[in-house]
Every structure is written in structure tokens, then in C-alpha cells.
Amino acid sequence: MNSPLKRVAVACFVMFALLMANVTYLGAVQADGLRTDPRNQRSFYARYAVDRGWITADNGKVTLAKSVDTGNRKFRFEREYPEGKPFAHVVGFFAPESSSGIEGAEGRYLDGSHPDLVVRRAIDLVSGKPHKGANVDLTLNAKAQKVAYKDLANTGKRGAVVALNPKTGAVLTMVSVPSYDPNPLAVANKDTVNKAYNKLDADKTNKPLLNRAIGLTYAPGSTFKTVTSAAFLMDDQSRDVNTMVNAPDALPLPDTNISLPNYHGESCGGRASLLSAYTISCNTPFADVAMAMGYDKLKEQAEKFGIGTPLSIPLGVTKSDIGPDEGKAALAMTAIGQRSNQMTPLQMAMVAAGIANRGTVMKPYLVNKITGPDGGEIDTTNPEEMSEAVTPEVAAELTTMMINVVRNGTGRAAGLPNTTVAGKTGTAETAPGKPSHAWFISFAPAEDPKVAVAVFVESGSAGNDATGGAIAAPIAHDVMQAVLGQ
Amino acid sequence: MTAKRRGAQLAMLAFAVVVVMCAYASAGLGIDGAVPAGMLTYGLGLGALMLAAYLVLAKWAPWADPLILPLVTLVNGLGLVMIYRIEQTGQGGASATTQLMWTALGVVMFSATLIVLKDHRALQRLTYTAGFAGLALLLLPLLPFIGKEINGARIWVGIGPFSIQPSEFAKIALVVFFAGYLVAKRDVLALAGRRLLFIDLPRARDLGPVLITWAVSLGVLVMQKDLGSSLLLFGAFIAMLYIATQRTSWVLIGALLFIGGAVLAGQVFSHVEARFDGWLNASSQEMYYRDFGSTFQLMQGLFAIGSGGILGTGLGQGYPREIPLSFSDFIFSATGEELGLTGLMALLMVYALIVQRGLRTAFAARDPFSKLLAGGLSFILAWQVFIIVGGVTRLIPLTGLVTPFMSAGGSALLANWMLIALLVRMSDAARKPPPQAIQDEGLTQVMQR
């Protein structure tokens, strides 16, 4: 009977071999597909098994996002955002199936999966402790951020505020209005979160989830005259603020039968100094000098301010663009920040910051430093120069012009006591009959700049007579005041 | 000359108990960061239990294979740890205490079998009694009042607060019957009848027992909705028939009959068809979400194994609760998540070793009945592991069966410990040195009639 027994033994071992081969196929080959199958809830639970790092501001003094140990086995650590709306767009949210803002961009540090944390992970694995992520400290100035949010929300309009440290590029304020409460989006329940998210997403008019500071571009209006002026001054070293430019009441545009007027048809006297044309924000002189210089020079100057450079701060930034070369008439409009000239509020803050920093634009960044769960430093952002937009001399001329705008021109509302403020207003026409966008860019103190701001209020010029100076400049005033600690 | 190897057996038994205790501690650490409070009592309890089994074995079956008991202890212990671990998730129905109690009873059953059954060949005289008992046990759940239907299968008998699954015991009785019957009839069964194509067909009247078993298997399948048991019994019978007669034709005929019967059943009975469809298209949304015969459980089991990957999450750190009945039919998948591919391979290897020791016993046995019984019991163990593990890993269509020694359930544990006792008894007989010739004492007188 031994020979059939042998065959049966072989059959038994073939069965075991088949089982082992199949288990290997499942556990090694198909594992990834099975692990990531949307019907497999484990990746969902795993998100909550990690004691994610905290997100803070002001060197850890203000907590923006924290993990709370619920003691629940399935969803042990839940995310809370104590500061809520003002910080929502920057901090983002940690949802069951996705994450946004810093929660997303620095996710690998926060959940500890970053290669820099591999040693710590190994220690946690061996000691059997729940896995802890690294903490992310942001460059935001919490006080200025809250002031900016409150002021902007009080206008009842949509808009954004960005404040930078001109010397480092650190983002001190980044606010977008309307905002949302991130807490309901971080609940460990897919259905609840999806419902809350879809509700926010369905508001196509206000788009509360959109970070207007970096996510969308708008016509910058007269604030762009700063870039045009920079190009004009850089084009010829002999020019300065007193150089006389043509300032007709209306400028006929080549190859068209229309002419470009000044704001509200005001007169700038036929000829004016660059300083006075900039101060009262005449349109015709800037259109005229741009047409004389040509598209390429304006484009080149714009690029030196970072316009068109892809940016990750580490949140992705929509590219700003002055638009294509479409002839002189179009260039005239581009020079005064109209037509297809489209900028993010962050980009305009970078223009102000570049001038403030003696012509050098610093790369903007949101993350101050990353510390391990034990407080040990893992990474600190070193300020990086992005480009030299203008020479220090030209920066000084531009600063003089901007100071004059706040002292004697359209930007008086931004003035601070005992501090020299430099700024520029902007009112961008959108469509005929529609309210214009209100802009204000500024920096202070002019002698030793510590903060550069861009304020943008969407359709902010209700009634068509308010300029950027009326609605946007006061917000910049408050933000600068908050940063300077006055 | 074989050695007893009792010392090695004791050392390996201690090792198995230590592995299980470590697994228990690891599960506790994984769940709430602390070694479980009851670890010492639990470990000492299991240790004492296995020491008792060892002493019984050393006294009543001293020549038994030294590996079988430690291997079974390891699987049984890991099953206990998994059930403890699943109980901690709050999944209803999992109780480590109950399972430990059944393990103790299993060891009692093991010892009793060894003590009472001094010579397994006594079973040969009970061939037809065993056959009758097996059929009766199989049909018991169909009786009114005591028969119970749980989770769609009518394979339970309720006695007071306990539910007993008689098919687990029937399986041993029927293997004893098959062995006795085939040893008695193997000469006539091996006679060739007509030749069809290249196969020698057996004589028609010898087909009787195959046809009867086939009919009973399918009858069980149909009436009790127990696909697993029918597949198990039928496969065991065919394998034993083959061992007894060496005729491949029986295997082919048996396989064809079963497939034919199953296809027919598939067309007539919706639950058979549902299992088959679920096997083919387990991952499709339609199968996954359908109300009847959903592949939800199967897919959750596969997700568990996939998520475990190569090394697993570690005991106590997976999500066994995601799989319905993870402590029962799907304990293999739950183990896969926490111990990974590595753990599953080790587990399959332990099963393969138990089967190998059983088959070795069959080879070494000195009489045909022992060979057939040991071969049959070993095969049925391997076959059962294949059916349930193959089912939950989607190698073959899923049919419900317990994972031997691991799944929660008293009947299966008792029956399987009994099965092991029989193997141990036979290995003792096979390895015991034959009585010494006494030539040296001078001339032996040869008597001739």
C-alpha cells in the first residue's frame, strides 16, 4: 500500500504548495492593491492611528492644529483646529480621504513617514508606542493673521491679504475670505465629512474652500504701475522720480479708434514728473512709457519680480502672468494692470517686498521650522534669494514714490504714526458695469522694512467711486500695525 | 531502531507553550500597551494541560511520534491567542475562555482515547458500527427539535445551552468505516470490469459504496447547506479508495461524479451557484454589495491578508473586526493581517508537518488497516486545511469549514484532538520495536503440524 500512499502524500504537499503560493501571491504581489482598495477601511483607520504632529505659529506659542487622543480603538487620534477660520486656508484640514493646506503639503512630516524621521519610526516600532509625527511651526504672525481676517471679513466682500517679511520671504499673514471651519472636515467619518465638504464646495459664488491669496489671479490695476515704473527706471540709469513723462488727458491707442483716459477722466496736466504721475495714479503716463519701451522689457521686469515663476511655499501657487504680447494697444492696458494682466495677491506682496528689500525678492515660505516629537529640531527654513528685481538705487526711487502715495496721494488711509509707510493703491476694472477690484500694496517702516503687505478685495469698489485706498488701505494699515507691534 | 525521543518531545512542547505565551504577551502589548493581566495563569494553565497530555502519552503511548503533540499545541495555542485578540475588539461570539475550556476538554478527550484504546485495531471490528454512527451523526441536525440552523447551515444540534456540530465527529467515524470497509473489500474493488478509453472501469456492483457515499455527501450538501463537509467527506473517501486499490480510475470517476453533482446542485440550488459566482468575481462591486451571497466577508478577509503584507501589523495591531466571523471560518485571514505572509507560511508549514508525521505513521504501520486509517486521517486533515484556507484565500470557491485547532468551536476541537489521539496511538504501534526473537537462549523448537 506504500506506493499509493506516496502519491497521496505528494497530493497533500501539492495542496500545501498551492496554498503557500496563493498566500504569497496575496501577501506579496496583490498586497498593494488590496491595501489601497477603497473598500478596505484600514488605510482610513491608519490615518487616525498616528499621533500627528502639531501645527503652530509664533515659534510654537499658538496652536493651529493638534491631535487629540480619543482613546477610541478605531480612530484614536482626531484632529482639532482651535483657531478655526482665520487660519483654515493655510493650515488646511485632515479629512478621512484627503488633506489640504499644510496638513497635506507637510503631511509626511506630520504623520512621521518622511525619510528624515526613519530612525524615530524604528524606535517607536520597537518600543511599541503609538507612532508620533513631527511638529510644523509656521511663519505666520497669529495676531496679524487674526486682524487681517477680521478686517477683511468685516468688509462683507471676498478677498485676500498677504503679508511678508521682506528681508526673509517669511509669510506673516495669509488670509482668504470667505473662509470655513476646518473642524467638521476632520471628523473620522467619511459620510459626515463628505456632506460638509460638498456643502462648502457647492457654494460656487463664494467658493469658501478657495485660497484666494495664492489660488486665483486677478487684474492688479494701478498697483502694477509699480512694476511698470521699475521697468522704466531700470531701462535708463539717468532716470529718477523727477523725470518728466507725457501725461495727456487721453492717450489714443495705436491701431484702434479708442483712447485711454485717466481715472474718472481726471487731468494730469499734459506732462508730469514720474513721482506725481505715480502719486495720483495717472493712467496715461504709464501706458505711454510702456509702449515706448516695448512688451519685452516690461515682461522681463515682471519676471524679475517672480511673475511667472512656479512657486511652492510649500502650498502650490497659481502662476501670475502679464499676458501675451498682443500689440501696443494691449501693452498700454497691461502697463496699468488691466486686460490679461493677472496676479495673485501673494505676487503683489512679493513686488512690495522686493522693493522694500532694496530690490531683492526673497522666496516666500510658510514653514518656519520642523521639530521632532521630543522638540529636537529637524529642519529650519533658510531664507533664499529668488531674484534681483531692481538695483538698490531704483528700489530707493520706487520707495520714495510709494512713500509719497501714502503721505500725499491715494493711500493716506495706510499711514501709521511715527512710522514711514510706503504703498500703492489699485482699482482694477473687471467688466463694464461691474464693481472694480480694490488693491493696496505697501511696506513699513520704509527705512528698515519689517513687513510688506498686499490687500485684495474682490469687487471691492462698490458704487464705482471707492478706490483701493478707501477699502483696502485701512486693512493694510491694521496688518502692518499688528506686525510692528504698535 | 527508533528511539523514543521523549526528552526532545518535552523540550519542543515547552517551546510551543513559550511561543504561545509570547504571542499572548505581544497581543496584549499591541492592544493596550501592557502585558495581559492573566498571562501567567493562562500560560501556566496551557503548560499544565500540555504537561498532562505529555504524561498520558509517555505512559500509554511511549513510542509515539514526538513531533505531533508539540505541533498541535502550537496551532491550538495560536488559535487561542487570536481568539483572545479578536475578543478584545468586541466582536460578538469570540471568547478565549470558552475556547480554553474546550481545549482542556480536547486534551481530556485525547488522553481518554489513548487510555481506553490500547490497540487501534480494535476499531476494525467496529467497521459497520462506525459507519452507522457516522451517518447517524451526519443526519442528526436534520431531526426536528434538536437540529438547529446557524448562519444558514443546518449542521448543529442543540443540547441544553450547547451547540454541537456532529459532522465533526461523523468525519472520524466515517474514516474508520472507510478504512475497515476498504481493507475488507479491496481485493474485489481492484478487479477490473470493462475498459473504456484508457481507463479500467470497476465492476458495477463494486461501485455501490462510492455511489452511496456520493449520494450521502450531496444529500448533506443539499439538505444542510453544508458545502464544506460534503466536499471533505467525499474527498477523503476517494483518497482512501485510491490508497486501498491503487486504481486511478476511482479517483477520476469520483471527481467526475462530484463535479457533475455540484454542477447539478449549482443549477438547482441558488446558494451553491452564489458561492461559485462569488469565487469567480469576488472583487466586483455587484457581488460585493449584493444582499444574497455577498462576497463582503471574503473580500474583507483578502484585504486583511493584503494589508498584513510580508511581516504583518503585529499581534493586536490589526483590524480583525472588519471581517465578519473572524474568529471562526476566517481566523486564517485575521492571522494573516497580524502575522503577515511570514506568519501564514509558518502556520501552513506546521500543518504540513502534522500531516507529514501522520503520513509517516501510515508508511511505518505494519498492517493494511492501520495504513489506511492513518493515511485517511492525515489526508482528511490536509484536505480540510486546503478547503478552508483555499476558500478564504480564494484559491477555490469558499465553503464553510473550521480551520483545524484554530477556529473557535468546541466540537471541532474535541474531534480533532481525538483524531490526533488516533494518529498518536498508531504511531506508537508503528514505532514500537517488534518483540525480540529469543534465538540467543538456545535452540527453539519448531513445531510443525
Is A74 in Cβ contact with B306 (below 8 Å)?
Answer: no
CB pair distance less than 8 Å for A30 and B322: no
Q: Which residue of B has its CA nearest to A44?
A: B319
Provide the angle, in degrees to the nearest 10, between the axes of the packed helices B227-245 and B166-189: 30
Which residue ranges make up each domain of chain B? Answer: 124-448
Nearest-Cα residue of chain A relative to residue B356: A9
Interface membership of A41 toward B (CB under 8 Å)? yes
State residue B247's pLDDT score: 80
- A39, three cell numbers: 473598500
Mean pLDDT of B313-337: 90
pLDDT in tens, B130-149: 888 888 888 888 777 777 77
Q: Which uninterrupted H or E stretch holds B89?
A: none
- Please state whether B80 falls in left (phi above 0), alpha (psi between -120 and 50) or beta: alpha
Share of chain A above pLDDT 70, in %: 96
Residue B234 confidence (pLDDT) = 84
Report pLDDT for B44.
86
B chain contacts of residue A42, beta-carbon cutoff 8 Å: 303, 307, 318-319, 322
Is the pLDDT reported for residue A163 higher than 90?
yes
For residue A436, list its beta bridge partners: A461
Whole-angstrom Cα distance, residue B87 to residue A450? 61
CB contact under 8 A, A12 and B355: yes
Lowest-pLDDT choice from A157-171, A351-365, A415-429, A441-455: A415-429
Of the residues B183, B305, B339, B392, the best mutation for testing chain A's interface (the one with the most A CB atoms within 10 Å of its CB) is B305
Q: What's the CA gap between A171 and A308, in Å, rounded? A: 19
At residue A450, does pLDDT exceed 90? Answer: yes
Q: Judge contact between A356 and A399, C-beta under 8 A.
A: yes
Q: Inter-chain contact A39–B242, Cβ cutoff 8 Å?
A: no
Can you give the pLDDT at residue B376? Answer: 95
- Chain A residues near residue B245 by CB distance under 8 angstroms: 4
Q: What is the mean pLDDT of residues A475-486?
A: 91
d(CA A15, CA A3): 19
Which residue in the set B341, B379, B395 is minimally distant from A12, CB to CB?
A: B379
Q: Sort out which chain A residues have CB atoms less than 8 A from B303's CB and list them.
A: 34-35, 37, 39-40, 42
Residue B196 has pLDDT above 70, yes or no: no
Residue A354, judged by CB atoms within 10 A of its CB (0-12, 13-18, 19+), counts as buried
Residue B370: closest CA among chain A residues belongs to which residue? Answer: A1
Chain A hits for B385, CB-CB cut-off 8 Å, are 15-16, 19
Q: Do residue B390 and residue A22 have CB atoms under 8 angstroms apart?
A: yes
Strands A135-138 and A55-57, bridge-based pairing: parallel
- Using the predicted structure, report yes or no on whether residue A463 has a pLDDT greater than 50: no
Q: For the CA atoms of chain A, what is the radius of gyration?
A: 28
> Which chain A residue shows the shortest CA-CA distance from B236?
A8
| A27, A45, A129 member nearest B306 (Cβ) | A27
**DSSP β-bridge partners for residue B6:** none
SS (H, E, C) chain A: CHHHHHHHHHHHHHHHHHHHHHHHHHHHHCHHHHHHCCCCCHHHHHHHHCECCCEEECCCCEEEEEEEECCCCCCCEEEECCCCHHHHHHHCCECCCCECHHHHHCHHHHCCCCHHHHHHHHHHHHHCCCCECCEEEECCCHHHHHHHHHHHHHCCCCEEEEEECCCCCEEEEEEEECCCCCHHHHCCCHHHHHHHHHHHHHCCCCCCCCCCCCCCCECCHHHHHHHHHHHHHHHCCCCCCCCEEEECCEEECCCCCCEEECHHHCCCCEEEEHHHHHHCCCCHHHHHHHHHHCHHHHHHHHHHCCCCCCEECCCEECCCECCCCCCHHHHHHHHCCCCCCEECHHHHHHHHHHHHCCCEEECCECEEEEECCCCCEEEECCCCEEEECCCHHHHHHHHHHHHHHHHHCCCHHHCECCECCEEEEEEECCCCCCCEEEEEEEEECCCCCCEEEEEEEEEEEHHHCCCHHHHCHHHHHHHHHHHHCC
C-alpha B77/C-alpha B261 separation (Å) is: 38
Question: Is residue B163 less than 8 Å (CB to CB) from chain A?
Answer: no
The model's confidence at residue B50, banded by pLDDT at 50, 70 and 90, is very high
CB burial of residue A187 (10 Å; 0-12, 13-18, 19+) = middle
Cα distance between residue B249 and residue A102, in whole Å:
70
Beta strands A385-388; A377-380: pairing state: unpaired
CB < 8 Å to A5, chain B = 243, 359, 362-363, 371, 375
Per-residue pLDDT, B155: 74
pLDDT at residue number B325: 86
Contact call for residues B377 and B415 (beta carbons, < 8 A)? no
Q: Which of B307, B359, B385 sits opposite A42 (nearest CB)?
A: B307
C-alpha cell at B299: 473580500
pLDDT at A131: 73
Inter-CA distances, B91 with A207, A371, B319, B342, Å? 44, 40, 11, 25
Considering only CB atoms, A20 lies closest to which of B309, B348, B371, namely B348
pLDDT value at B444 more than 70: no
Q: Residue B274: which pLDDT band, with cuts at 50, 70 and 90?
A: confident
What is the pLDDT averaged over residues B272-294? 81
Question: CA B87 to CA B93: how far, in whole Å?
Answer: 8
Instruction: Report helix, strand or coil for B112.
Output: helix
Inspect the interface and report whether the beta carbons of B306 and A32 lie closer than 8 Å.
Answer: yes
CB atoms closer than 10 angstroms to residue B426:
26
**A222 in catalytic set:** yes
The per-residue b/e assignment along B242-255, b for 16 or more CB within 10 angstroms, e otherwise, is bbbbebebbbebbe
| φ/ψ (deg, to 5) at A58 | 50, 55
Residue A14 contacts B, CB cutoff 8 Å: no
Give the C-alpha separation, A314 to A367, whole Å: 8
- Is-contact B201 B195, C-beta < 8 A? yes
Cell 427539535 found at: B145
Whether residue B309 and residue A42 make contact (CB cut-off 8 A), yes or no, is: no
pLDDT value at residue A465? 40
Residue A42 forms contact with B (CB below 8 Å): yes
pLDDT at residue B61 above 50? yes
Predicted confidence (pLDDT) at residue B200 exceeds the cutoff of 90 = no
Please tell me the total number of residues recorded for chain B in this structure.
449
Poorest-confidence range of A10-14, B116-120, B441-445?
A: B441-445
Mean pLDDT value across residues B100-127: 92
Give ∠ CA A231-A235-A239 in degrees, rounded to 5: 100
Residue in A12, A22, A37 closest to B395 by CB: A22
Q: Does B352 touch chain A (CB under 8 A)?
A: yes
- Asked whether the predicted pLDDT for residue B395 surpasses 90, the reply is yes
Residue A127: alpha-carbon gap to chain centroid: 41
Asked if residue B94 lies in contact with residue B86, where contact means CB atoms within 8 angstroms, the answer is yes
Residue B427: burial class (beta carbons within 10 Å; 0-12, 13-18, 19+): buried
Determine contact, residues A90/A182, Cβ cutoff 8 Å.
Answer: no
Chain B hits for A35, CB-CB cut-off 8 Å, are 303, 306-307, 309
Torsional class of B162: left (φ above 0), alpha (ψ -120 to 50), beta (otherwise): beta
Would you call A128 and B29 a contact, using CB atoms and an 8 Å cutoff?
yes
Across the interface, which of A20, A33, A74 has its CB nearest the CB of B345?
Answer: A20
For chains A and B, CB pairs below 8 A equal 140
> What pLDDT does residue B437 have?
64
Q: Is the pLDDT of residue B449 over 80?
A: no
Helices (H) and strands (E) in chain B, counts: 15, 5
> Beta partners for B160?
none
Other Cβ atoms within 10 Å of B136 Cβ, number: 12
User: A23 touching B, CB under 8 A?
Assistant: yes
Q: Which of residues 131-170 of A touch B (CB under 8 A)?
A: none
The C-alpha torsion from A64 through A70 and A75 to A79, rounded to 10°, is -10
| Cell (9 digits) for B41 | 495563569
Which pLDDT score, from 0 to 100, does residue B426 have?
Answer: 95
Chain A residues with CB under 8 Å of B89 CB are 73
Whole-angstrom distance, CA of residue B280 vs CA of residue A18: 18
Q: Considering only residues A213 and A122, tell me which one the structure prediction assigns the higher pLDDT.
A: A213
How far is the alpha carbon of B104 from chain A, nearest alpha carbon, in Å?
29
pLDDT single digits (tens) B223-266: 777 778 888 888 888 899 889 888 887 788 888 887 887 788 77
**Chain B touched by A22 (CB under 8 Å):** yes
Q: What is the predicted pLDDT for the residue at B2? A: 62
Q: Distance (Å) from the C-alpha of residue A454 to the closest C-alpha of chain B?
A: 49
Q: Is B273 exposed, middle or buried (0-12, 13-18, 19+ CB in 10 A)?
A: middle
Mean pLDDT check: name the lowest of A197-206, A251-260, B127-136: A251-260
| ipTM surpassing 0.85 | yes
Catalytic member of A222, A276, A436, A461:
A222
Mean pLDDT of all residues belonging to chain B: 85
User: Partners of A285 in the beta sheet?
Assistant: none
Enumerate the residues of chain A whose CB falls inside 8 A of the CB of residue B363. 2, 5
CA proximity to B323, closest of B306, B356, B342, B299: B299
Residue A420 has pLDDT above 80, yes or no: yes
The residue ranking higher by pLDDT, B438 or A370, is A370
Instruction: Identify the residue with better confidence: B278 or A302.
Output: A302
B299: chain A residues, CB-CB within 8 Å: 37, 39
Return the SS3 of B152: coil
d(CA B123, CA B109): 17
Confidence of residue A466 (pLDDT cuts 50, 70, 90): very low
Average pLDDT, chain A: 89
Cα(B96)–Cα(B85) distance, rounded to whole angstroms? 8
